[in-house]
Amino acid sequence: MTNRFPFRAVAAATTAVLALSGVAACSSDDTAGGDSQRVDVVAAMYPLQFVVERIGGDAVRVTNLVKPGAEPHDLELNPGQVGQIAQAKLVVYLKGFQPAVDEAVAQNAADRSFDVSTVQPLLDATSAAHEHEGEDADGEHAEEAGGKDPHIWLDPTRLAAVADQVAEQLGKVDPARKADFTARAQALHADLEKLDADFTAGLKTCQRREIVTSHAAFGYLTTRYQLTQVGIAGLTPDNDPSPQRLADVAKEAREHKATTIFFETLVSPKVADTIAREVGAKTAVLDPLEGLSADHGNADYLSVMRANLQTLRTALSCS
């Protein structure tokens, strides 16, 4: 994934944090530091927060750098967040997904961080998304040429592998509770294996196997369950598709007799609505789980993924 997002404020924030005493100790709810009985962990985004909380239980306090309802790709860090990274016992992040986090980790927590992209090789951006005739270095996804798709959590088996490694990292930070972390990781692993089995069975027999999505976040899901993704935008949802790209996607949607154009919760549905009107389809939410909004209520990764499964089964006419 190309580092397109601005680094401004990271260097300034780092400098500011050095001049601020106790900047990361002002709130026990959303700030690291202050409880010697719990391990302070910073998670770069919601799926990693989910994993750390499930494995750490009451032995950890987890700070998610992305506020509820915010889009995580273009995260910029304020001085307090840089302070949280600097003071955390462990930072769990995915290198290449949030450049500002990458920079802050490199400067403040290189020896206390875990990059989950190292667990398994990432898919190439071009192999994770459906390639369209005529797309090349001058095409719609040129900015992602040679890049990697970071959305590993949309394959439950990959997230299970991440969970096992997170348990190991927590065990190094807090050896006295290593057995507890391992046991919780095994329980989470079982939940994710069940989720994977439900997806495999639920998407086994469908009338259609192509999904048209507002941005190409679902490469791991479609690869795992033998679907084909047609992304209107690229790997980052703020990429505005060209008129030609919209026309190409509309053509493919008609060819595949798509009944549903998918959009997501944290970005505008405008582009999906445009395609849907063009081809006479409806729209529905397919959640990439990059973050949770207030509308999610008490939902978590597992429940949102199961909602995604039901949405896909309806849209693809699965039996």
Tell me if 129 sits within 8 A of 203, measured CB to CB: no
Model pLDDT for residues 229-281, shown as the tens digit of each residue: 998 877 666 567 788 888 888 998 899 889 999 988 777 788 889 889 989 99
Q: Where are the alpha helices (DSSP H) in the chain?
A: 10-19, 46-56, 79-87, 99-108, 125-128, 156-173, 178-202, 219-224, 243-255, 270-279, 301-315
Model pLDDT for residues 15-70, shown as the tens digit of each residue: 444 433 343 333 334 444 445 689 999 999 999 999 999 999 999 999 999 998 88
For residue 229, count other CB atoms closer than 10 A to its CB.
20
Residue 263 main-chain phi, psi, to 5 deg: -125, 180
Model pLDDT for residues 274-314, shown as the tens digit of each residue: 889 989 999 999 999 999 877 777 899 999 999 999 999 99
Closest Cα to residue 231, out of 293, 149, 146?
149
Q: Residues with Cβ < 8 Å from 141, sequence gap 6 or more?
A: 125, 126, 129, 135, 216, 234, 235
The per-residue pLDDT for 292 is 87
Mean of pLDDT values over 169-181 = 98
CA torsion angle 286 2 241 250 (round to 10)? -50
Tell me if 313 sits within 8 A of 202, measured CB to CB: yes
| Mean per-residue pLDDT of the chain | 84
Q: Residues with Cβ < 8 Å from 133, sequence gap 6 or more?
A: none
Q: Cα 246–252–256 angle (5° rounding)?
A: 145
Q: How far from the centroid of its chain's Cα atoms is residue 167's Cα?
A: 19
Tell me if 141 sits within 8 A of 234, measured CB to CB: yes
Token pair for residue 186?
Answer: 């095994």
The per-residue pLDDT for 294 is 74
